[in-house]
Chains A and B, each alone.
Chain A
């Protein structure tokens, strides 16, 4: 009996190995075909799938995507007003000192001395577009712009003042 059991065990083992051999081939071929289907879809649908841009040619119609980080900008409304209070939170948040806030004390209409923004100095050459200033800003005064063509011939042109001359703080931001 032992002998027959052993033989059955041996045959069973061999059968198992044979089944595994063929199932390996089957599975391998199936996964390869699955991969070829994906790339085959790409090659047969070029209009839909190609994501490369012909950059200098389509410069006029080029739309950067929403979350692209080109540079820090400060939006101004039609009255030349911005939302920056000069609180320097962004300056403190910046890991490499790209932002310098120059602030001033002025007397407002209530007769109180008040801290106001004089110059928002932004050093583009040091900025890593980490987005921490935008996240830390309590009044949403700054955001990331879409422009990425920053090449200039002189380094000093990269140091920018973001608040426009003569601009002032929007009413109601500080309340």
Chain B
């Protein structure tokens, strides 16, 4: 029902596809579609970064009993645009001892990893660039390309702070990727598919966090912790710990190259939140409670894209809440948390979930 009601994105994409197919040869039509999708994602990244940076600054201000940016525009709404213009006009500096090729390549590696992940995210019914049948495996695989960018940036800068930050980040992402993957697998056991659209369709009658009850909630909490660590955000921001490493792996970067790292950090935060929302909270599926037809009907009116961004925004807010509440961990505490706590809990949780899935104790 919900699929049939909100089909405008399906119609739009098929209209574009048929329109291009009728006037161009198939490979040229595909090429134009690729360029269009790329353009849409570039635009979306820009808007996303502007909105998220503003949100982060405002939310952090409210957590710390401040007002945040208030001067540029009403309530400081144009502050991030002013900042972006400043970054665009800034001179890109480089130290003479840095490895020039790798130094310039690192920001692009990180951005490419973010773009590749973003492609697999289902925004709404039909608004989905890449629907692989191994979607979750693909996302966890390309997410680790980002760490290569961080390591390159740290190594090529020829700066001890950058290198320490990069090595810490490597150890961290290597460890926490396990937890992210395993907590997503817990839901894959229930959904029976790695494809994002299949996982969403399996949640039409209820989100997995409700249907999978205890093990799903444990997996969701583990996912939240590990995703925060994967995006190098506080309390796991050892890679750029300001008080210890000036700015960590991007100490030597300035201007547009720095803003690439900045952009990728916020884009990654959005991506992991979107994946969490898709797998645990039903993606663009509305909230349905059992047989309450009236309630479900009202929920169906809200378009899928709002559901998706609402859920993603909720997870982003929780991650910001973590950031502005918890103190930063030491590197040994970080690795202890992963290898002694999250990983065993996660493995046990998978066994529990398999047992529940086999005995049919989920809803």
Contacts and interface: CB of A to CB of B under 8 A. Distances in A.
29 contacts: A32-B325, A32-B326, A35-B325, A35-B326, A36-B321, A36-B322, A36-B325, A38-B325, A39-B63, A39-B321, A39-B324, A40-B321, A42-B63, A42-B65, A43-B59, A43-B62, A43-B63, A46-B62, A49-B65, A50-B62, A50-B65, A50-B66, A50-B67, A51-B65, A51-B66, A52-B65, A52-B67, A54-B67, A54-B70
Contacts of A46: 62
Interface in B54-70: 59, 62-67, 70
Contacts of B70: 54
A25 B348 CA distance: 15
Contacts of B341: 25
Interface in A1-57: 25, 32, 35-36, 38-40, 42-43, 46, 49-52, 54
B64 A42 contact: yes
A78 B59 CA distance: 51
A51 B62 CA distance: 10
Report, as a range, how many residues of chain A touch the other chain: 10 to 19
Nearest to B327: A35
What does DSSP make chain B's interface, helix, strand, loop or mixed? Answer: loop
Contacts of B322: 36
Contacts of B325: 32, 35-36, 38-39
Contacts of A54: 67, 70
Interface in B298-330: 321-322, 324-326
A32 B59 CA distance: 19
Interface string B44-60: 00000000000000010
B346 to A, nearest CB: 13
B307 to A, nearest CB: 23
Interface in A57-86: none
Given A39-B324, A39-B325, A52 B66 contact: yes
Contacts of A38: 325
Contacts of B67: 50, 52, 54
B221 to A, nearest CB: 9
A143 to B, nearest CB: 30
A114 B66 CA distance: 56
B72 to A, nearest CB: 14
Interface in A89-129: none
Q: Which of A36, A43, A49, A52 has its CB near the most chain B CB atoms (within 10 A)?
A: A43
A40 B322 CA distance: 10
Nearest to A37: B325
A54 B63 CA distance: 18
Contacts of A35: 325-326
